Amino acid sequence: MNISGLKPRQGKIDIELTIVSVDPPKEFNKFGNIGKVANAIVKDDSGEIKLTLWNDDIEKVKAGDKIKITNGYVSEFQGEKQLTAGRFGKLEVL
């Protein structure tokens, strides 16, 4: 699977990517729970996409890392596709 083939609301995505950049994390409070979210830009041979990183996944990655996302999900925010490992997926650094 590659970035150019991803569609909004698509799930069960297994893909290997390279981290281009990671934004500083932002903290949020939802239902009394503190969490962190950060956006990263990832690429493969077919293009780039924004990757949303949550909590512990933020600390795992840095620019230049090769990662694998298993059971990922594509959402759409303000017309832009975004990839995330989400609640049921897994992000690992290769």
Find the CATH number of the domain harbouring 37. 2.40.50.140
Q: Quick check: 86 pLDDT over 90?
A: no
Instruction: Write out the residue range of the structural domain in which residue 14 sits.
Output: 3-93
Strands (E), the chain: 13-22, 26-30, 33-44, 47-54, 66-77, 80-84, 90-93
Domains held by the chain: number: 1
Q: The tokens of 67 are what?
A: 């990662």
pLDDT of 12 > 90? The answer is yes
User: Has this prediction a pTM greater than 0.95?
Assistant: no
Measuring CA to CA, how many Å separate 23 from each of 43, 82, 93? 15, 14, 18
Residue 72 has pLDDT above 90, yes or no: yes
- Is residue 26 scored above 90 in pLDDT? yes
- pLDDT value of residue 30: 87
